[in-house]
Amino acid sequence: RAKRDPARPVMVFRPEMHVAALRQLQIEGDLPQAARRGQLRLVYQPIVDLQTGEIGGYEALLRWQHPQLGAVPPCEFVPLAEELEIITELGAFVLEEACRTFQMASSCGPEGAEGAAPPALQVNVSTRQFLRPGFARTVQRILVRTGFPAGRLHLEITESALIVDLDEAARTLTELRALGVRIHIDDFGTGHSSLAFLHRFPVDGLKVDRAFIARLGEDAVSAKLVETVLLLARTLDVDVIAEGIETRVQRDHLIRLGCRWGQGYLFSRPLEVADTLALLHASSGALAGPYD
Ligand code: C2E
Ligand code: MG
Ligand code: MG
Ligand code: MG
């Protein structure tokens, strides 16, 4: 009997591991072709003024409808796209598709509400995509090709994008800001950025992670944290968007804390492109929800 190396863990093979491994293999094999095969689409979730329901922007969220596996969530395939080194192509696809859709809406629809600023388009950018040299040039190329105004494009990056490679991050941020593109920190509060970081890397907005919003009203620490982020944002003169608002209690709490912008199922789920275009064309530009 072979002696077991005590340093090596014992692998117990269970049938469900086989299923998971097969799924993983299929996803890895199919992801590189997904865009070309028309399996990828974007949905758009409104970002609203918590008191008035006015829409300030939309966040583009990627969806993959796999012919056998059904909907594969982005938290599963985006990290894989980074590992497979196809995130540059995938990210460019998302940016171009989103900018094209929003540019089309503004050029063929009626003007928005009297005096209201046209809504922003928020696009998620993964850390590796952001840190790849040439990212800002890709963004510029897409803005030129689609005609979408740089000032309406807000890129969402996570704190790790700023921390992993300080020099590359600083360079890319400077290039993007020179284009007029704005930067928001996504999932704020879950990473490792500090006051010093926000000072060194000027950004335009912070998105408070859903985890803190979910616990609002349940634990005092979450409320304190949200309050601190709002204070910080006021000091730095940046916007704050609260993510994942699901209840009126959470919304009211955020209003009391002085938060203006929010996003969540209470207001709207992510919308298919046709519904997004209909909203963009509606003259009011506000979501009159059952929530007030
Ligand atoms: P994220 O950027 O923080 O996006 C917010 C996520 O919360 C989205 O999940 C959204 O559908 C979900 N959400 C919105 N409101 C609520 C709510 O009230 N309650 C709950 N429980 N969830 C809510 P989704 O679409 O599954 O995306 C997950 C993550 O995948 C995103 O987190 C983002 O990090 C990534 N992702 C999505 N699309 C893209 C993309 O085009 N590019 C990149 N690089 N990453 C993407
Ligand atoms: Mg996001
Ligand atoms: Mg987020
Ligand atoms: Mg989040």
Q: What pLDDT tens digit does each residue of the chain (292 aa) get?
A: 556 677 777 666 677 778 888 899 999 999 999 999 999 999 999 999 999 999 999 999 999 999 999 999 999 999 999 999 999 999 999 999 999 999 999 876 555 445 568 999 999 999 999 999 999 999 999 999 999 999 999 999 999 998 889 999 999 999 999 999 999 999 998 887 777 778 888 899 999 999 999 999 888 988 999 999 999 999 999 999 999 999 999 999 999 999 999 999 999 999 999 999 999 998 656 776 655 5
Confirm or reject: Cβ of 122 under 6 Å from ligand 1: no
Return the ligand 1 atom nearest residue 42 CA: 41
Pocket test residue of 42, 61, 62, 142 for ligand 1, highest count of atoms within 8 A of CB:
61
Confirm or reject: Cβ of 244 under 6 Å from ligand 1: yes
Q: Whose CA is nearest to atom 15 of ligand 1?
A: 264
Which residues have C-beta under 5 Å from ligand 4, the single-atom ion? 187, 210
DSSP string, the chain: -PPP-TTSPPP---HHHHHHHHHHHHHHHHHHHHTTTT-EEEEEEEEEETTT-BEEEEEEEEEEEETTTEEEPHHHHHHHHHHTT-HHHHHHHHHHHHHHHHHHHHHHSPP-STTPPPPEEEEE--HHHHHSTTHHHHHHHHHHHH---GGGEEEEEEHHHHHS-HHHHHHHHHHHHHHT-EEEEEEETSS---HHHHHHS--SEEEE-HHHHHTTTT-HHHHHHHHHHHHHHHHHT-EEEE----SHHHHHHHHHHT--EE-STTT---B-HHHHHHHHHSSS-B---TT-
Confirm or reject: Cβ of 264 under 6 Å from ligand 1: yes
| Nearest listed ligand to the Cα of residue 125 | 1
Return the ligand 1 atom nearest residue 94 CA: 41
Confirm or reject: Cβ of 265 under 6 Å from ligand 1: yes
Confirm or reject: Cβ of 95 under 6 Å from ligand 1: no
CA of 27 to the centre of ligand 3 (A): 24
CA of 207 to the centre of ligand 3 (A): 6
Instruction: State both tokens at 138.
Output: 């890709």
The Cα 67–Cα 121 span in angstroms is 29
Q: Does ipTM come in above 0.85?
A: yes
Q: Whose CA is nearest to atom 4 of ligand 1?
A: 61
